[in-house]
Amino acid sequence: MSVPQLRIAHEIVGNAVVVHVAGEIDMANAPVIKAHLDRACHRAHPPQTVVADLTEVVFLGSAGLSVLLEVDEACRGRRTPLWVVATTPGVVRPLRVTGMDQVLKVADSLDSVVQTA
Amino acid sequence: MAAPDRRAGVDRDREAVTADPTRLRIDHSTDGDVTLLEPRGVLDLGTYPHLRDTLIKSAMEQPRAVVVDLDSLRIPTEATLSVFATVWMQVSEWPAVPIVLVASNPDDREWLRRQAIANVVPVLATVREARESLDDPPPRRRAALELPCSPASAALARRFVSETCQRWECAETLPAATTVASELVENAVRHARSEPKLSLELRSGTLAVAVYDDDPAPAQLVRTGRVQSRHLGLRLVANLARAWSCGPTWSGGKVVWAVLRIMSRIG
């Protein structure tokens, strides 16, 4: 085993450009996630939103948290806000522990975000 | 050893500024499972870091105790005695190696016992007494893993923590332990550019996660009001752990460790 397993899929749902991520996010694959989220950010046009659907992510380390902060800033600049869908303890806990749940738009289900969008 | 009241005619501030670290030599030997340090020379602001780092490095080797024979050390001002309290505070959570001072002169012992450090560091007359004063070491289990200098090491570290915690029946600490190990290993690879060594240690009530690297530059957490993408790793570690710190090692690198509270008991 080397780089942690990761599955990524893009989808347009309603007014949202969604990136579904499944697996573990750490320094080994954070740049890959960043590239996918950047792509979604560039595909989206106001009033569309970008959604990082982390429902199936079981580990989110600081490298992944940094990516979310950077993509959030880029998305704000383009007026296509980033939503993060976090349901698993491996994602919810690091967001809470670092205070990032107060900085990012965090939702507890994809449906609620897509409806918000 | 010479306490302040037996020393006169020295401009102490001037001495502190111009102090030459080579004026403190520290002899290092082992007596069974105990490490014996004999500092020879003067303890002042110039030599303080040398004694501090030597004490920490010695504790990191995890002997049963570090015994410091003060008979050949001159201590012009009692302020520098804080080196023992500083080191005690840094190592008391982990590796929790006792530090014991030895002074053969009864007056010196009395003087030392009147100082604040005596609350945390016992002062005894001989190395033998120091050794006899030690409690039995607490029961513990240890496991270690050497990793490559690669981004893939973080995932390897998480697997190792997961398997070890399950074997040790402390799975309730897994999420925090996995994150801490992953972050410390990433820092060792990214910042220290080292092949990290991950060490886990289970004691009654605590799990220590320690990562050794080859870079002596200490890990530092910059506390800022707002969330920034830098330093998130150590912020995670600091917020998940009961205590964390780092210290130099004899190999010229450092060890960064975090202590997690657990419910499991051993022994």
Confidence band of A3 (pLDDT split at 50, 70, 90): low
pTM (predicted TM-score):
0.89
Higher pLDDT, B17 or B221: B221
Residue A105's Cβ-count burial label (10 Å; 0-12, 13-18, 19+) is: middle
Nearest-angstrom CA–CA distance, B166 and B160: 10
Q: List the one residue out of B28, B85, B83 whose CA is nearest residue B61.
A: B28
Question: Could you give the ipTM of this predicted complex?
Answer: 0.93
Residues of chain B positioned with their CB less than 8 A from the CB of A62? 183, 186, 232-233, 235-236
Inform me whether the C-beta atom of residue A64 falls under 8 Å from chain B C-beta atoms: no
Inform me whether the C-beta atom of residue B186 falls under 8 Å from chain A C-beta atoms: yes
pLDDT of B264: 62
Average pLDDT of span B154-179:
95
Q: Would you say residue B34 has pLDDT above 90?
A: yes
Closest partner residue to B175 (CB to CB) among A1, A66, A93 is A93
Q: Would you say residue B17 has pLDDT above 80?
A: no
Express each pLDDT in B85-120 by its tens digit.
Answer: 999 999 999 999 999 999 999 999 999 999 999 999
Q: What is the interface size between A and B, counted as CB pairs within 8 Å?
A: 77
Inform me whether the C-beta atom of residue B114 falls under 8 Å from chain A C-beta atoms: no
Inform me whether the C-beta atom of residue A99 falls under 8 Å from chain B C-beta atoms: yes
Q: Does B151 contact A3 at a Cβ distance shorter than 8 Å? A: yes
Q: What does pLDDT average to over chain B?
A: 89
Q: Would you say residue B55 has pLDDT above 60?
A: yes
Q: DSSP per residue over chain A, as a string?
A: --SPPEEEEEEEETTEEEEEEEEEESTTTHHHHHHHHHHHHHH--TT-EEEEEEEEEEEE-HHHHHHHHHHHHHHHHTT--EEEE--SHHHHHHHHHTTGGGTSEEES-HHHHHHH-
Delineate the domains of chain A, giving CATH numbers in brackets.
7-116 (3.30.750.24)
